[in-house]
Structure 1
C-alpha cells in the first residue's frame, strides 16, 4: 500500500471518530434533567433556554449531524471539516475584535499606536483603523461593519449552497436503490461496513475514551498508586468506557483485535513468517468479541453501577481469556504434532513448540486457581474453570502424543501398535473432557433446581449439554464402534502363511513395505494387518479393488491358494495415486513422502473413485509390479 493510500485510510478513520463521540455524548446527555438544572440557575432568563422545545429539537439535530458525519464520503467530509474550521476562525476573530474594541474604549488612549506595542497583536481591521488615527467612537462602527460584512458573506455562501445537502441526499438515495436492486441489501451492508471500516473506527473511538479516562485519573493524583490500585483502576476505567451501546461496541471490537493480535503472535512464534504465507487472512478474534457482546447484553452490563460493572466485566474478561487460550491451542496442536511426526531436527523449532505448550498447560491451571481464590463459586465461574481445565488436559494429551512421536523417531524399528496407543491417549483425555462437561451440567441443573432460576442460565445449560455432552458422547461412541468393527474384521480375515508370502512375493499396497506377516482379504489381496486396520477405520472396502470386505466365513472357497485378482489396470491406477495408511500415526519410514502421517484426504479421494462391485479376472498385477512396472519390448507387443 502506498503512502498516499495509507494516509487516506488513516484520515477516513480519524475524521469519523468525532461522529461516534458525539453520538456517545448525546446518549449520555439527559435533556430533561439538564433543563431542570437550567431553571434553577441564572441562565433561565437566557432566550436560548426559554424555548425548551427548540432545544429538544436541536438534540435530535445532533443525532442527524452525527449520522451525516459518519456516512459522508471522505472528500465531502474533508470539505465539511474545512467549513467548520473556517466558521471557528471567523467566530474567534469576531471575539478577539470585540474584546480589542472594548479594551480600547476602556483605556481611552488617543495617542500614537507605536507607543503601545501590545496593540500590534490585535485584530487586523480595528488595528488598521487605529493606525489611520480613527477616533475611538468610530472604531465601534468599523467593527460592526466588519462583522455585518462577514455575516453577509457567510449568508451568501449558505444561500448558494442551500441545495447541496438535498442534492447529496438525492444522489446517495439513488445509488443505494441501484445497489440494492442489482446486488441486494446484504451486499450494500457489507460495502458500507468495508468503506466505513467499522471495526477499526469503533476500536479507535474506545481507545480514545480509555486514554482520556486514564489521563483524567492521573492528572488529579500526585502520589503513585500501588499494584492492586492499578488493577482496580484498569477495571474501573474499562467499566467507565462501556456505559453506552457505542462504547460497548468499541470494547467488543477492541477485544477482537487484541485476540487477533495474540493469535497472530502465537502463530508467528511457532512458524515465523511462514505462518503468514500459509494463512494470510488470519480470520480469527471475532469469536472472543461476539462472546463478550452476548454476555454483556444478557447480563445488562450497561445498566449496572460502575463497581458492579467492573466486577461483572472481570468475569466476562476471564471467559474471553479462556476462549483465547483455547484458540491458541487450536493453532498449536496441529503444528506441534506435525513437528513431532516430521524428521525436522531443528532444536529451536521444537523449543518454541514445547514452550508454548507448557505455557498453555500452566497458565490455564493458574488462572483457575486464582479464580477459586478471589471469587465465590457460581455457574459462570465454573464454566471458566472447566474451560481452563479442559485446555490443560488437551495440552497434556498433545504433549504425550508428541513425546510418543519423538520416541518412535529415535527407535530403529517402528512401533507396531502406535495407532492404538495414540487412540487410547486421545480417548482418555476425551473421556476426561466428557466427565468435566458432565459435572458442569450437573452443577448447573442443581443450581437451577435448588437456587435461583433464570432463563439465561437455563439456555446456557441447554447449549452446554447439547454441544459438550451429547455431541461428544455421540462422536465417541461412533468412533468406538468403528474401531471395534475394524478389529473384528481383521480378526476374521485369514493370516497368510510363509509359503503364501513367498509365493506372493509382494509388498503391502498401503505402506509399500515388505510383508513378513499379512492378512488375506476376501478378494485375495495381501496387506499388513495394522495397515488394513487403519484403512477400515475410515471405510469398509478393499484399498486396491474397492470390494466390500466381509468376514471370511461368509465367502466360501477361500483356501490356501488365492483366487484370481482384479484387472491390472484398476490396481495400477490405484497404486499410481499413492496409497498411505489412513491414520495420523504411520510408523517411521513407511511411506513415499516423509513427515506425512495424516492421509485422510488420500483415503477419502480413493474411496470416491471406484467404490462398488469387485469383478476378479485373470492376469493379476501385484503391488510390486504396479509400483515398479516392467518395460515391455516391441517384439512382445507384436506377439501380443
Structure 2
C-alpha cells in the first residue's frame, strides 16, 4: 500500500506545477510593464510590428498554453485515480520510455566523440600513409588517444547493455515477449556500427532508428490493448453510476477516498516537497547561514504557496490533531469517541481558513502571518473539541455516582488545562499584538471555552452535591437549567459578535465568496438554529411549569397514606403532584416527563383533558369560521 501511495505522488507534483504557473494564464502586467531593459527593447521591437498581429499572437499562445495545461491536469487526474494494477503498468511504460530516451542520449554522446576521432584519423592517416612516414603514423595514434577511444566504446556498450536489461525487466510480464526480444540488442547496435571504418556519417541516423524501433513496438503494444483501455473506462463509468444510483454521491466519495488513501498520499507529497526545499537551502550559499527560525519560516511559506501544497499541509495538520485528540482520550480513559472526527474537523477548518483568507495569493511575509493566525484559530477550535470530549464524561461521572477518584482527577485536570491554556494564550496575544478583527475573534473563542468549562464544572458540582444528599433535591433541575441557559446565552452572544466581526471584515478589510458562504453557514447554524432551539426549550419548559402548577399539591396525610415512591425516579416523595387520573409524582419529575409527552407515565391517560377539549372546541370554531368564509365567497 505504501508503494502504491508513493506512485500516486508524481501526478500531484504535476498538478502543483500547473498551479504554480496559473494553468498558463498570461501575466498581463509583465507584458504591459516590462521589468528590465531587455523587455523594453523587445517591446520596442514589437511596437514596430502590427499591433493587431501581436495581439492575436499573444491570445493564441495564451489559449494554447491553457488548453495544454488543462489537458495535462485531466491526464494526471486520471492517472491519480487509476487502480493499483493499471497504475503499475502505466509507470512501467513511462519508465521504459525514459530508458529509451536515456539510451538515445548516451548513444549520441558516444557517437559525437567517435565521429570527431574518425574524422581526424581518416584525414591525417591518409597523408602519412601516402608518404610512408612511420613516425607520423605513430604520432597520429598517440594523438588519437587509442585508450580513450576504446574506453568510450566499452563504457557505452556496458551502459546500453544495462539499459537493455532494465528494459527487459520492465516488460517481463508483457504478453508480447517475442516482439520485445527483437529490439533488446538495438541499444548496442550504434556502438557496433561505430567500430566499422567509414560509417561516421550514418551514426546519428542509426542512433535515431534504433530509438524509434522500441518506441514503435511500445506504441503497437498500446494499440493492441486499446480495447482493454476502453473496457476499463466503461467499467469505471458503470461502477460510478451504479454507486451513485444505489448509495448516493457521498458514498462514492467516501469509497474513493478510502481506496486512494488520499491523506497518506498528500502527506507523502508535502514531505517530499519540504525535503526538496531543505535540499535547496543546503545548496544555496545565501541561505546556509540562516537561523533555525528563518529556516522554519521559509519552509512554512513555501509549504503553502499553491492549493495542492495547502492540501498537503492540511493532511499533516489533520494527522497531528488526530494524535492530540487520541492523547486527551488516553488521559480521560475514554475509547468510545470517534477518534477520527478531530482530524477531519481540523482538516476541514484549516483548509476553509486557508481558502477564506486567500493564503496562496499573499506575499511571503503576509502569508506567514496569515498562517500563524490560522493556527491560533485552529488551536481555539481544538480546545472546543476537547471540551466536547470531557463534558459528557463529567456529567456521567457525577450522575452515575462513579467512585473512581482517578477518573474524576483526570477529568478535572483536563478542565484545568482548558482554563489555564486559553488564559495564557490571551495574555500572550494581547501583549504582543495590537487590537484587530482577528485578535477579537481568537479572544472570543478563548473566553467562550473558559465560560463553557466553568458551566460544565458548575453542573458537575451540583450533581456531586446531589449524589451525597439523603433527600430529594427538587430545585436541582431549576439550578441546572439556569446555569446551562447562562452558558448557552453567552455562546449565542459570542456567535452574534463573530457574525458582526465577519460583516466588518467583509465590508472594510477583505471579502470573498468563501468568506460570504461561511458567514451564511454561521448565521444559520450558530445563530438562527440556536435561537430557534433555545426558544423552543424555553416555551416547552414554561408550558410544562404552568401545567404542573395547575395540578393540586399532595398533602402530608395523602403522602403518608400512599407510602410509595415516585414512579419516574423511584425516590421517596416528601412532596408530590396529583394528576387527574389520581397518580402521584414529583413535580420536577413530572415536568421532565411532560417535555417528552402529555400522557400519564402509569396509565397513559391524557393529563389535561380539559385543555384538550378546549383546544378541540377552538379548532372546531376555526373550521366553522373557515367554512363560512368559503360559503360566502361561493355565494
Normalising by structure 1, report the TM-score: 0.68
Residues 1:378 and 1:83: Cα distance change in structure 2 (over 3 Å): same
Tell whether 2:346 aligns with 1:288.
Answer: yes
Which residue is 1:638 aligned to?
none
The equivalent of 1:259 in structure 2 is: 321
* Separation in 1, partners of 2:338, 2:494: 36
Mark the CA change 1:358 to 1:147 in structure 2 (over 3 Å): closer, same or farther.
Answer: same
Work out whether 1:242 is the aligned partner of 2:314. Answer: no
CA spacing shift, 1:144–1:436, aligned 2, 3 Å: closer
Q: Which residue of 2 aligns with 1:316?
A: 374
Q: 1:87 to 1:522 in 2, by over 3 A?
A: same
Matching residue within 205, 214, 218 for 2:269 = 205
Confirm or deny: 8 A CA contact 2:108 2:204 kept in the other structure: no
2:439 to 381, 405, 412: 381
Pick closer, same or farther for the CA change 1:284–1:172 going to 2, 3 Å.
Answer: farther
Partner of 1:434: 492
Alpha-carbon separation, structure 1, partners of 2:365 and 2:451: 35
CA contact (8 A) 1:243 1:303 kept: yes
Deviations 1:399-452 (A, max 9, x none): 222233333444555644322222222122223333434444566667888x56
2:260 corresponds to 1:196: yes
Q: Which residue of 2 aligns with 1:345?
A: 403
Q: Is the 8 A contact 2:281 2:288 kept in 1?
A: no
Q: For 1:112 and 1:206, how far apart are their aligned partners in 2? A: 46
Tell me whether 137-146 or 513-522 shows the greater mean CA deviation. 137-146
The equivalent residue for 1:496 is: 554
Distance (Å, rounded) in 2 between the aligned partners of 1:370 and 1:498: 61
Q: 1:340 to 1:140 in 2, by over 3 A?
A: farther
Summarize deviations over 1:486-531 as a string: whole Å, max 9, x none: 3343333333334323432332211223334333212101123333
Within-5 A mapping of 1:225-624: 225=291, 229=293, 233-272=295-334, 275=335, 278-279=336-337, 282-413=340-471, 415-440=473-498, 454=511, 464-550=522-608
Closer, same or farther: CA 334–97 of 1 in aligned 2, 3 Å? same
In structure 2, the partner of 1:22 is 14
Return the alpha-carbon distance in structure 2 between the equivalents of residues 162 and 440 of structure 1.
Answer: 59
**Matched residues in 1 for 2:2 and 2:572: separation?**
65
Q: Distance in 1 between matches of 2:94 and 2:402?
A: 63
For structure 1, which segment, 451-460 or 60-69, has the greater mean C-alpha deviation from structure 2 after superposition? Answer: 451-460
> In structure 2, do the counterparts of structure 1 residues 513 and 428 end up closer, same or farther at CA, with 3 Å as the change threshold?
same
- Shift of the alpha carbon at 1:16? 1.0
- Contact 1:494–1:552 (Cα < 8 Å) also in 2: no
Aligned with residue 83 of structure 1, among 93, 98, 102: 93
Change in 2 beyond 3 A, CA 1:433/1:68: closer
Q: For residues 111 and 463 of structure 2, what CA distance do their matches in structure 1 show?
A: 89
How far is 1:390 from its partner? Answer: 0.9
Distance change >3 Å, CA 263–CA 405, structure 1 → 2: same
Q: Verify the 8 A CA contact 1:508 1:528 in the aligned structure 2.
A: yes
Q: Deviation at 1:100?
A: 5.8
C-alpha distance in 1, partners of 2:81/2:504? Answer: 51
- Among 234, 259, 274, the alignment partner of 1:174 is 234
Equivalent pairs counted in the alignment come to 526
In the alignment, is the contact (CA less than 8 A) between 2:326 and 2:339 conserved in 1? no
Q: Distance in 1 between matches of 2:235 and 2:160?
A: 50
Q: 1:322 to 1:553 in 2, by over 3 A?
A: closer
Structure 1 residues 61 and 401, CA, compared in 2 at 3 Å: closer, same or farther?
A: closer
SS in 2 for 1:24: helix
Q: Contact conserved, 1:17 with 1:201, CA < 8 A, in 2?
A: yes
Q: Which moved more, 1:26-35 or 1:61-70?
A: 26-35
Q: Is the 8 A contact 2:505 2:511 kept in 1?
A: no
SS at match of 1:163: helix
Aligned equivalent of 2:158: 124
The 3-state SS of whatever aligns with 2:380 is helix
Q: Distance in 2 between matches of 1:197 and 1:74?
A: 12
CA RMSD of aligned residues (A): 4.5
For the 8 Å contact 2:598–2:606, the answer to whether it is kept is yes
Shift of residue 70 of structure 1?
Answer: 1.6
Most deviating of 405-414 and 152-161? 405-414
8 Å Cα contact 2:331/2:410 also seen in 1: yes
Give the alignment partner of residue 3 of structure 2, picking from 3, 6, 11.
Answer: 11
Query: How has the CA–CA distance of structure 1 residues 416 and 281 changed in structure 2, closer, same or farther, with 3 Å as cutoff?
Result: same
CA distance in 2, matches of 1:112, 1:472: 85
The equivalent residue for 2:220 is 160
State the alpha-carbon separation in 1 of the partners of residues 62 and 492 from structure 2.
62
How far does residue 339 in structure 1 lie from its aligned partner after superposition? 1.9
- Residues 96, 123 of structure 1: 8 Å contact kept: no
1:285 match: secondary structure: helix
Deviation per residue, 1:96-146 (Å, 9 max, x gap): 566567667767344799xx99997663389999x99x9795896998798
Give the match's secondary structure for 2:377: helix
The match for 1:66 is 76
Aligned equivalents of 2:497, 2:81: Cα separation in 1: 50
